[in-house]
């Protein structure tokens, strides 16, 4: 078996993997990216709408344009790129880690490295995950698969569409299917508020006159060979109102019911997972519970915007380089999700540095405030005009915020929303 050795190997060549690899290279570390698709870019390749890059490039780009810009940054460096190669197995031994990669063109190779960066992105939840009763007809797709079929394969999956779930991919696909001449009858959401970004509700539903049924459950998919309709039931005061159920005839159902980090290899590497994000638990350096294994991008927690993925991945790459040079986190503070916060990532902060923390709200609220509490004392409050679970929030935890951590045996930072 061919064997090659690098300082670090990055698994996944999406926005996160490319940004982390470039930072590693800039810091003088030898580095490789392994990507299972034939080209770099990850999910960006099928997102042909615009709305990417306003922060990173100060321009509004499509997904493929954003991917191309990121790829240009990598191509001009010493980063080795293996495309069409899938990492099948990770041996995260304490000193030298090994990745076993399989490719149709070069067979099996073993890549050794002192550090690994997990950047495998996320996957869509499917019908099995949400257990919709009914038949098993053709015509049920996840929204991301339909996006790939339409935008890359040039195939129209159906003509009369109902979207179940109001996640961003479903909203974007509702608009995309309308653009190609399909009739999108409705987007059906179990929650009393949308799961996608407000800008997508406006631009993808309101602008196309597509109804959004909030607090409605899809209680049945109808059809033996091909989808013929979906039965929808309103939810009032937490109870299903069966007497008010109705059927929307359609031939295609698109599911947009959430994303989960692609964590098989994370489990293989033995890293601890956060049950709220399904991604790894990471410290202030974005290092997992296994020393030398780092994580960034959607494999760590599902992000809304690629710009935030890149920002986090750059930090991960720079941290891996510091770690390879012998730096280790010192006297970290634990960060926990306080009231109304679903999760925080990372789970540790370094009081000797400025830290960036991402979080998601559990509630929808106007005029909210985000409280930073160190050892049960509020050290700073940040006003937020509007918060909702679908919009990721971030907060900069400065050294000044964390000043009172020194001297405490087990400093704890709690982030709360009120």
Ligand X SMILES: Cc1cc2nc3c(=O)[nH]c(=O)nc-3n(C[C@H](O)[C@H](O)[C@H](O)COP(=O)(O)OP(=O)(O)OC[C@H]3O[C@@H](n4cnc5c(N)ncnc54)[C@H](O)[C@@H]3O)c2cc1C
- The residue range among 44-52, 272-280, 369-377, 387-395 that interacts with ligand X, by the rule CB under 6 A, is 44-52
Cα–Cα distance measured from residue 44 to residue 71, given in angstroms and rounded to the nearest whole number: 12
Interface with ligand X includes 17 (CB under 6 A)? yes
Which C-beta is closer to ligand X: that of 287 or that of 374? 287
Interface with ligand X includes 370 (CB under 6 A)? no
Which C-beta is closer to ligand X: that of 317 or that of 351? 317
Interface with ligand X includes 12 (CB under 6 A)? yes
Interface with ligand X includes 29 (CB under 6 A)? no
Q: Please say whether the beta carbons of 187 and 212 come within 8 A.
A: yes
Interface with ligand X includes 357 (CB under 6 A)? no
Minimal distance in Å, beta carbon 298 to ligand X?
A: 4
Minimal distance in Å, beta carbon 149 to ligand X?
A: 13
Interface with ligand X includes 121 (CB under 6 A)? yes
Length of the chain: 418
Minimal distance in Å, beta carbon 168 to ligand X?
A: 5
Radius of gyration of the chain (CA): 22
- The residue range among 42-50, 237-245, 360-368, 402-410 that interacts with ligand X, by the rule CB under 6 A, is 42-50
Interaction with ligand X in 285-314: which residues (CB under 6 A)? 297-298, 303, 305-307, 309
Interface with ligand X includes 15 (CB under 6 A)? yes
Interaction with ligand X in 242-271: which residues (CB under 6 A)? 262, 265
Which C-beta is closer to ligand X: that of 51 or that of 134? 51
Interface with ligand X includes 413 (CB under 6 A)? no
Interface with ligand X includes 14 (CB under 6 A)? yes
Cα three-residue angle 414-416-417, rounded to 5 degrees = 170
Interaction with ligand X in 321-340: which residues (CB under 6 A)? none
Minimal distance in Å, beta carbon 124 to ligand X?
A: 8
Cα–Cα distance measured from residue 106 to residue 49, given in angstroms and rounded to the nearest whole number: 35
Interface with ligand X includes 86 (CB under 6 A)? yes
Say how many residues touch ligand X, by CB under 6 A.
Answer: 36
Q: Please say whether the beta carbons of 345 and 299 come within 8 A.
A: no
Interface with ligand X includes 117 (CB under 6 A)? no
Draw the binding track, 136-175, toward ligand X (x: CB under 6 A; -: no contact).
Answer: --------x--x--------------------xx--x---
- The residue range among 29-37, 155-163, 228-236, 274-282 that interacts with ligand X, by the rule CB under 6 A, is 29-37
Interface with ligand X includes 350 (CB under 6 A)? no
- Sorted by sequence, the CB contacts under 8 Å of residue 36 that are 6+ apart come out as 84, 85, 86, 87
Which C-beta is closer to ligand X: that of 254 or that of 349? 254
For binding to ligand X (CB under 6 A), which residues are involved? 11-17, 34-37, 42-44, 47, 51-52, 86-87, 119-121, 144, 147, 168-169, 172, 262, 265, 297-298, 303, 305-307, 309
């Amino acid at each position: 078996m061919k064997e090659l050795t690098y300082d670090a190997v990055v698994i996944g060549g999406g926005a996160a993997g490319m940004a982390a690899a470039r930072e590693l290279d800039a810091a003088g570390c030898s580095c490789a990216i392994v990507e299972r698709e034939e080209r770099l870019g990850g999910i960006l390749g099928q997102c042909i709408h615009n709305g990417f890059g306003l922060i990173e490039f100060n321009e509004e780009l499509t997904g493929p344009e954003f991917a191309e810009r990121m790829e240009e940054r990598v191509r001009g460096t010493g980063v080795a790129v293996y495309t069409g190669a899938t990492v099948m197995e990770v041996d995260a031994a304490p000193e030298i880690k090994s990745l076993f990669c399989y490719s149709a063109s070069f067979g099996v190779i073993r890549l050794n490295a002192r550090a690994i960066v997990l950047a495998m992105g996320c996957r869509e939840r499917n019908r099995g995950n949400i257990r919709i009763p009914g038949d098993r007809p053709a015509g049920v797709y996840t929204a991301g698969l339909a996006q790939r079929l339409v935008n890359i394969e040039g195939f129209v999956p159906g003509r009369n569409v109902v979207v179940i779930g109001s996640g961003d991919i479903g909203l974007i696909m509702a608009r995309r299917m309308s653009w190609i001449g399909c009739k999108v009858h409705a987007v059906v959401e179990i929650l009393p508020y949308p799961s996608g970004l407000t800008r997508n509700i406006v631009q993808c539903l309101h602008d196309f006159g597509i109804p959004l049924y909030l607090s409605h459950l899809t209680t049945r998919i109808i059809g033996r060979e091909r989808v013929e309709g979906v039965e929808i039931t309103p939810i009032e005061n937490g109870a299903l109102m069966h007497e008010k159920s109705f059927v929307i005839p359609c031939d295609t159902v698109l599911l947009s019911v959430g994303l989960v980090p692609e964590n098989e290899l994370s489990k293989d590497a033995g890293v601890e997972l956060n049950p709220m994000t399904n991604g790894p638990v990471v410290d202030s350096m974005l290092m997992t519970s296994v020393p030398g294994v780092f994580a960034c991008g959607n494999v760590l927690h599902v992000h809304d915007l690629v710009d935030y993925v890149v920002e986090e991945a750059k930090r991960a790459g720079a941290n891996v380089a510091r770690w390879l040079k012998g730096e280790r986190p010192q006297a970290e503070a634990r960060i926990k999700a306080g009231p109304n916060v679903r999760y925080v990532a990372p789970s540790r902060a370094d009081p000797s540095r400025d830290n960036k923390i991402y979080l998601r709200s559990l509630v929808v609220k106007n005029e909210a405030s985000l409280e930073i509490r160190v050892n049960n004392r509020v050290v700073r409050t940040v006003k937020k005009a509007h918060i909702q679970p679908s919009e990721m929030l971030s907060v900069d935890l400065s050294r000044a915020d964390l000043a009172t951590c020194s001297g405490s045996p087990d400093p704890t930072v709690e982030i709360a929303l009120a």
